[in-house]
A and B are shown apart, each in its own frame.
Chain A
Amino acid sequence: LDEDALLPAPQNISILSTNMKHFLTWSPVIVQEETVRYSVEFQGEYEREYANESWIPTSECSLITGTVCNITEDISATVAYNLRVRADVGARRSEWGTLKGVFNRITTSLTPPLMKVIADGYHLLVELEDMGPAFQLRILYWKKGQERKVQQKVVKEVRSVVHLDTMEAGADHCVTAQTYVDAINRSSSFSQTQCVRAQGDKSM
């Protein structure tokens, strides 16, 4: 690679991590009328401390044209990771651009689960979003007006619909839920409370 072959290293490298899905992003390197390709590598704490600070190519981002890389599969332990990306155009190659600071998945932002509460006759059901194997769900439900008698159900293997309770005729029941990720031992905030009414008239 001769001197003028050097490309600028990618800049503005940052992580977007939500609900245990982790993405590395950077600003494009602009080269007129040329396709710039990027490669991403990661380095865990083990590599720093025991493997001569070696770097490992990511599973999904070798010579890609986009400026976003899904590193979820590579960030698979709760330790601090370094990340870097470089650019290639033909025979020209940039230096590595490295993420400022480290990334640990324990810092992922956890959002409340999407859910839909359903009154199916006298049955209180909740339809839940499947957020992946890392997630458990904690569901709280109660009869309106009896907020002191909240019941809880923890769902470890998330399925689309969960039966919570059998309701009294005409009674209102309310539900809220949060996610829990035991790999990082953290929970999301609770979702907005949703209330539904069972069919029939209220008992006298």
Chain B
Amino acid sequence: TAGNKILHFGACRVSMSMTEIRAGFTAIKANIQARDPIRTLSILSSPRSLHKVKSSDRCCITHHLLNFYMDKVFKHCKTEDSYVNRKISSIANSFLSMRRKLGQCHEQNQCMCGQESTEKFKEILANYEGMNVTSAAMKSLGELDILLDWME
């Protein structure tokens, strides 16, 4: 089914529809990853994996990452393929819906940013800014399943 899941980000619990996002990404994953020639670099995974982030920091880093994808990734991934563009729009609007729900935890102070999440997010930004915008955005989009796996 559309598969809303209750995701736990430390003290923050949010119901999110992950199945639709995964279906949208799966439909364009090969196309997007084919546009990313530099296979030796990663935006999300180096130097430390997301999986090493403490539970209490999960909400804050998720909030940062949702903003990161909306501010710096989706808008730089426009392609000549209208099918791909529609799927990107679908994912982007679902991220917007998710960030709104996460924002409720932010308001209830359940989304505090610890040292670790701040450091980790700086690494991700540094990886992103170490490349030209379009390549970095396309690579980040190609790594979306890393983020989704970690969130779930």
Q: Which residues of A contact B (CB under 8 A)?
A: 44-47, 49-51, 56-59, 73-74, 76-79, 133-136, 156-157, 181-183, 185
Residue pair A46, B2 in contact (C-beta under 8 Å): no
Looking across the interface, which residue of chain B has its beta carbon closest to that of A76?
A: B90
Instruction: Tell me the complex Cα distance, A135–B2, Å.
Output: 7
List A contacts of B74 (CB < 8 A): 46, 50-51
Considering only residues 76-121 of chain B, those with a C-beta below 8 Å from chain A are 82-83, 85-86, 89-90, 92-97
User: From DSSP, what is the main secondary structure of chain B's interface residues?
Assistant: helix
| CB < 8 Å neighbour of B75 from A51, A56, A133 | A51
Residue pair B1, A44 in contact (C-beta under 8 Å): no
Looking across the interface, which residue of chain A has its beta carbon closest to that of B94?
A: A77
Residue pair A79, B1 in contact (C-beta under 8 Å): no
Residue pair B93, A46 in contact (C-beta under 8 Å): yes
Instruction: Tell me the complex Cα distance, A181–B15, Å.
Output: 13
- What's the least CB distance linking B4 to chain A, in Å? 4
Residue pair A57, B1 in contact (C-beta under 8 Å): no
Residue pair A79, B96 in contact (C-beta under 8 Å): yes
- What's the least CB distance linking B23 to chain A, in Å? 9
Instruction: Tell me the complex Cα distance, A47–B93, Å.
Output: 8
B145 at the interface (CB under 8 A from A): no
A-B contact sample (6 more), CB < 8 A, given A46-B70, A50-B71, A51-B75: A44-B89, A45-B96, A50-B96, A74-B90, A77-B93, A134-B1
| CB < 8 Å neighbour of B2 from A50, A157, A183 | A183
List B contacts of A135 (CB < 8 A): 1
Instruction: Tell me the complex Cα distance, A58–B89, Å.
Output: 11
Return the CB mask of B19-35 against A: 1 if under 8 Å, else 0.
Answer: 11000100000000000
- What's the least CB distance linking A50 to chain B, in Å? 5
Residue pair B85, A56 in contact (C-beta under 8 Å): yes
List A contacts of B85 (CB < 8 A): 56
Residue pair B4, A50 in contact (C-beta under 8 Å): no
B37 at the interface (CB under 8 A from A): no
B3 at the interface (CB under 8 A from A): yes
Looking across the interface, which residue of chain B has its beta carbon closest to that of A77?
A: B93
